[in-house]
Amino acid sequence: MNEMELVSVAEAMVAEGKGILAIDESAGTIAKRFKAINIESTEENRRAYREMLLTTAHLGKHISGAILYDETIRQSTRNGVSFVQVMQDAGIIPGIKVDMGAHPFAGHPGEKITEGLDGLRQRLEEYRALGARFAKWRAVITIGENIPTTSCVDANAHALARYAALCQEADIVPIVEPEVLMDGAHSLDESFEVTEATLRALFNQLYEQNVLLEGTILKASMVISGSEATHRASVQEVAEATVQCLLNSVPAALGGVVFLSGGQTDEEATAHLNAMNLLADFPWALTFSYGRALQAPSLKVWGENPAANVAAAQKKLAHRARMNGLAAMGQYEESFEAA
Ligand code: 5MM
């Protein structure tokens, strides 16, 4: 394990004013996104869409790294330049999703366990040779009646730590993502309680399994009201609760914190990140690793006419990257959206 390299890659991933572009949708998820815009999910359409995103001019100004999917890391532009090369030329660190998805957790109705540890050591070796310098593994925690159970939280935390240790052995920075889903009618307080318990379980396991925290990035969900809650917490309440939850449960030694957007609108996700960064100085950088909240406007425009709208779609992505880059420094203002 090259500790110096792990720490320097982790630092670069959360460099000031930059965050991560999550474009690691698995085959099923990208098909769902494409269906919503009436685009068929063929390999060529997926390649063309990801080429549009990755070749956006000056993307590296606000994007430090991008998380790819197994298919995408092997793809190239129409002109034959590999996506990894495009990213390296733009100063964007290539990352890779290595989990094999969240599956029903046996004996625990309504809960999920993420799979993908079998053969992971060999897959990481291959991804490193292909150019990946960081990886991602997502666990899914659902809030509902009598869930999450401690066994679900602990089993996912254990798997996340096993994955993280294997990544570091291969000189790949692990992003650990224990997503507490926004789906449901739960309150901000319930979200706080579950997120705190999940993070505590995760960091216990990372400690138990000798994971170098300085060479690890946490991808956290914000502490937020459920999407069907009757009372939705304000931007300020979400920011304060999220920061308090992290301060309660995340060691200062960690390499950095990036957030997922989890179904928030793009502007909501930016406003929340900005409000957090206005609160105080933290032991870690707080930035973004959004999927939907970075891609949504761009995907919509591209889907209207993939052949003709490349430049217009890239403009949308560049705008959201800039807005979130500013939010990562607490310098975002709603009025910038119109500019
Ligand atoms: C881009 O979506 C990622 C992959 O999801 P699947 O494995 O379900 O296809 C997802 O892990 C994503 O990286 C995070 O959830 C963050 O994305 P959002 O849209 O929540 O910001």
Sign of CA dihedral 42, 114, 216, 239: positive
At the second CATH level, the architecture of 3-328 is Alpha-Beta Barrel (3.20)
Q: Helices 266-279 and 235-249 meet at what angle, rounded to 10?
A: 60
| Token pair for 302 | 């591209």
Q: Where does ligand 1 bind, in terms of residues with CB under 6 Å? A: 22, 24-26, 29, 67, 101, 138, 179, 260-262, 290-293
Question: Of the residues 25, 177, 179, 196, which is catalytic?
Answer: 177
Please say whether the beta carbons of 300 and 33 come within 8 A. Answer: no
Please give the distance, rounded to the nearest whole angstrom, from the Cα atom of residue 291 to the centre of ligand 1.
Answer: 6
Q: Which residue has the CA at smallest separation from atom 5 of ligand 1?
A: 25
Q: List, in order, residues 6 or more apart from 307 with CB less than 8 Å away.
A: none
Mutate which of 138, 177, 299 for ligand 1? The one with the most ligand atoms within 8 Å of its CB, which is 138
Test site for ligand 1: of 114, 218, 260, most ligand atoms within 8 A of the Cβ: 260
Q: If you take atom 20 of ligand 1, which residue's CA is the nearest one?
A: 262
- Spell out the alpha helix ranges (H) of the chain: 3-13, 27-36, 43-54, 70-73, 83-89, 120-130, 150-169, 188-208, 235-249, 266-279, 292-304, 310-327
Per-residue pLDDT of the chain (339 residues; tens, 9 = 90+): 999 999 999 999 999 999 999 999 999 999 999 999 999 999 999 999 999 999 999 999 999 999 999 999 999 999 999 999 999 999 999 999 999 999 999 999 999 999 999 999 999 999 999 999 999 999 999 999 999 999 999 999 999 999 999 999 999 999 999 999 999 999 999 999 999 999 999 999 999 999 999 999 999 999 999 999 999 999 999 999 999 999 999 999 999 999 999 999 999 999 999 999 999 889 999 999 999 999 999 999 999 999 999 999 999 999 999 999 999 999 999 999 987
For this structure, is 219 an active site residue? yes
Contact 156, 206 (CB under 8 A): no
CA distance 208 to 213: 12
Active site residue 18: no
pTM: 0.98
